[in-house]
A = this chain, B = another copy of it.
Amino acid sequence: MTDHQHGYIHRKDDYLRRLRRIEGQARGLQRMVEEEQYCIDILTQVAAMTKALQAVSIGLVEEHLSHCVVDAARAGGEEADAKISEAVDAISRLVRS
C-alpha cells in the first residue's frame, strides 16, 4: 500500500542522486558569488538549476499520477476526486512557478 502511495520509491536512488546534484549546484552558486564571478554566468547556472528542479518535479508528477492517482481512480468515490484535485493543485503550482 505504502508502495502504491509513493510511486517514486522504486526510483528513490535516482531521485536522491539528482537532488544531491542540485544541492551541489546551490553550493556552486555560493562559490561563484563568493569569488565575485560575472552575473550573467551566475544567471546561466541559476537557469540550469531551475531546469534540473523542473525535471525532478515532472518525474514526481508522473510517478504520482501512475501510482497514487491510478489507485485512487480504481478505488473510486470521494477519495478519487480528492486525489485528482490535490494533484491538479500541485501541477498548477508548478505551471505558475
Contacts and interface: CB of A to CB of B under 8 A. Distances in A.
Contact of A60 (B15, B23, B36, B39): B39
Given A12-B33, A44-B90, A97-B47, A73 B62 contact: no
B19 A26 contact: yes
A2 B36 contact: yes
Interface in A26-70: 26-27, 29-30, 33-34, 36-40, 42-44, 46-47, 49-51, 53-54, 56-58, 60-66, 68-70
28 contacts: A2-B36, A5-B38, A6-B37, A6-B39, A7-B39, A39-B60, A39-B64, A39-B68, A43-B60, A43-B90, A43-B93, A43-B94, A44-B90, A46-B57, A47-B94, A50-B50, A50-B53, A50-B97, A57-B95, A58-B92, A62-B85, A65-B88, A70-B73, A91-B91, A91-B94, A94-B95, A95-B95, A96-B97
